[in-house]
Amino acid sequence: MKLKQRVVLLAILLVIFIFTKVFLIDNLDTSAANREDQRAFHRMMAGLRVELVSKLDHTLQSPWEIAAQWVVPREVYPEETPELGAIMHAMATKKIIKADVGYKGTQLKALLILEGGQKVVFKPKRYNRDYVVEGEPYAGYDRHNAEVAAFHLDRILGFRRAPLVVGRFVNLRTEIKPVATEQLLSTFLTVGNNTCFYGKCYYCRETEPACADGDTMEGSVTLWLPDVWPLQKHRHPWGRTYREGKLARWEYDESYCDAVKKTSPYDSGPRLLDIIDTAVFDYLIGNADRHHYESFQDDEGASMLILLDNAKSFGNPSLDERSILAPLYQCCIIRVSTWNRLNSLKNGVLKSALKSAMAHDPISPVLSDPHLDAVDQRLLSVLATVKQCTDQFGMDAVLVEDRMPLSHL
């Protein structure tokens, strides 16, 4: 064989060797990531049931100090949380030392301060578990039990971006009124034999109060994020206009995602993938009301999208509002870890996991069976949407490694 031919042959073999090595390394990395996702899933399932216990072992810190230390830019609580039961027990039982009207918003809530100085947001029960909210997906009052269910779904999906929530019963006459501010106290009234209040908010009306069963009111309490982590509000790029006859751009522009990818903070960093994760989360719970979202301030897109205010969900188990998934089917990208977790939850696993996670909550049963069944059915729609994307663009283009920079998308 002539020298020139040998050189060409060696060059070809070298190229084949390099491509083979890169391919094998890439597949080994992918396999390792998949195995770690599986281990994370099994760890989550093993620690799913949270029993509310009164004692914190092996620490002199208060429940509030531990919860505050958990918060970092990319998660509200860590993967392993042995103290979670004690923190939630404190949220559900600690003495209320002050009660005030809620922070700004459209829905009724109260701001409570618990013994030890911890702020929590109390959302009162408005509907029985089997009540179906008819009309638009964002119709009706906030659902307190939806906040509880959404928190546990956040745990199950492995996002860890929702503040801690637990159910609680409060006696309005003995626990709230004696420590209420004048502004809150002025909204109390009696309807029949029931103590009620209507608070201060955009839609709060004296004619539409929330009423206790006698004096005892069921509700949810959401742990206030530490003040050292101030929040920044953002307009959701896939938000609705809420104006009759006026469509948002994403509702008619098929290339809208391309425009979003060129806009900060979605042109790089994790924020666009957070939007996709949130679309999946909101679709599963039936929440079509996330027209804004919060992150931590001055984060330059590095902070997580925090899953706050999830109470406009679990209103109608028959709801199949596919437009909630618009970020997913328009961008056709999703985190590998999210995809792996969703696949691990099919075949009834999600329903079973959610039911198990909420079993020890003080207001259990948190969801009715039709709502649990609906979550399982919606999961199938999410998986089908991702499959349509992979069929069209291929797995490599759709499944994005969590730490991959997004400027190339």
Instruction: Please state, as a whole number, how many other Cβ atoms lie within 10 Å of the Cβ of residue 136.
Output: 14
- Say if residue 25's pLDDT is above 90: no
Amino acid at 203: Y
Q: Does 222 appear as a known binding residue?
A: yes
Q: What is the pLDDT of residue 243?
A: 83
Residue of 285, 252, 280, 279 whose CA lies nearest to 138: 285
pLDDT band per the 50, 70, 90 thresholds, residue 408:
very low
- Say if residue 41's pLDDT is above 80: yes
Amino acid at 25: I
Residue with tokens 């499944």: 399
Q: What is the pLDDT of residue 215?
A: 98
Residue 366 CB-density burial (10 A; 0-12 exposed, 13-18 middle, 19+ buried): buried
- 71-87 per-position pLDDT tens digit: 999 999 999 999 999 99
- Say if residue 288's pLDDT is above 90: yes
Mean confidence (pLDDT) of the chain? 90
Distance CA 338, CA 305 (A): 15
Q: What is the pLDDT of residue 406?
A: 43
Q: What is the DSSP string of 285-328?
A: HT----SEEEEETT-TT-S--B-----S-SS-TT---GGGGHHH
Bond before 365 cis per omega within 30 degrees = yes
Instruction: Please state, as a whole number, how many other Cβ atoms lie within 10 Å of the Cβ of residue 61.
Output: 13
Q: Does 354 appear as a known binding residue?
A: no
Residue of 286, 291, 294 whose CA lies nearest to 243: 291
- Say if residue 267's pLDDT is above 80: yes
Q: Does 309 appear as a known binding residue?
A: yes
Task: Flag the least confident range among 38-47, 91-100, 241-250, 398-407.
Answer: 398-407
More confident residue, 352 or 404: 352
- 104-114 per-position pLDDT tens digit: 789 999 999 99
Distances (CA, A) of 335 to 33, 259, 299, 305, 407: 12, 20, 21, 14, 15
pLDDT band per the 50, 70, 90 thresholds, residue 59:
confident
Starting at the earlier edge strand, list the strands of the sheet with 210-211.
188-191, 194-197, 210-211
If you ran DSSP here, which 8-state letter would residue 250 be given? G
Active-site positions read: 289
pLDDT band per the 50, 70, 90 thresholds, residue 403:
low
Q: What is the pLDDT of residue 164?
A: 98
- 185-238 per-position pLDDT tens digit: 999 999 999 999 999 999 999 999 999 999 999 999 999 999 999 999 999 999
Q: Does 142 appear as a known binding residue?
A: yes
Q: What is the pLDDT of residue 405?
A: 46
Question: What are the backbone angles phi and psi of residue 399, rounded to the nearest 5°?
Answer: -90, 115
Tokens describing residue 80: 């392993």
Q: Does 361 appear as a known binding residue?
A: no
- Say if residue 350's pLDDT is above 80: yes
If you ran DSSP here, which 8-state letter would residue 72 be given? B
Instruction: Please state, as a whole number, how many other Cβ atoms lie within 10 Å of the Cβ of residue 191.
Output: 10
Distance CA 109, CA 61 (A): 29
Tokens describing residue 363: 């207001």
Report the DSSP beta bridge partners of residue 121. Answer: 111, 222
